[in-house]
Amino acid sequence: MLALFILVVVHEYGHFLVARLLGVKVLRFSFGFGKVLARWHDTRGTEYVLSLLPLGGYVKMLDETEGPVNAEEKKLAFNNKSVWARIAIVLAGPVFNFLFAFAAIWLVLILGVKSFAPIVGGVVPGSLMDKAGLKSQHEIISFGDKPIASWRDFQYTFMLNLGKAKPVALTMRPLTYDETLTIDVPLNAWQPNAKGTDLLASIGIVPFIPKVPTLVGKIKSGSPAERAGLLVGDRIQQYNDVPLTDWLTLVNFVKLNPNKKIALLVERSGKSRKLDVVIGSQELQGRRVGFLGVFSMPVKWPANWLRVHREGPLDALGSAFTQTMELTNATFALIGKLITGKLSVHHISGPVGIARSAGESAESGLAYYVYFLALVSISLGVLNLLPIPLLDGGHLLFYLIEIIRNRPLSDKTKSFGMYIGFALLVSLMLLALGNDLSRL
Distance between CA 337 and CA 304 in Å, rounded?
A: 38
Of the candidates 12, 226, 311, 402, the residue annotated as catalytic is 12
User: 73 an active-site residue?
Assistant: no
**Catalytic positions:** 12
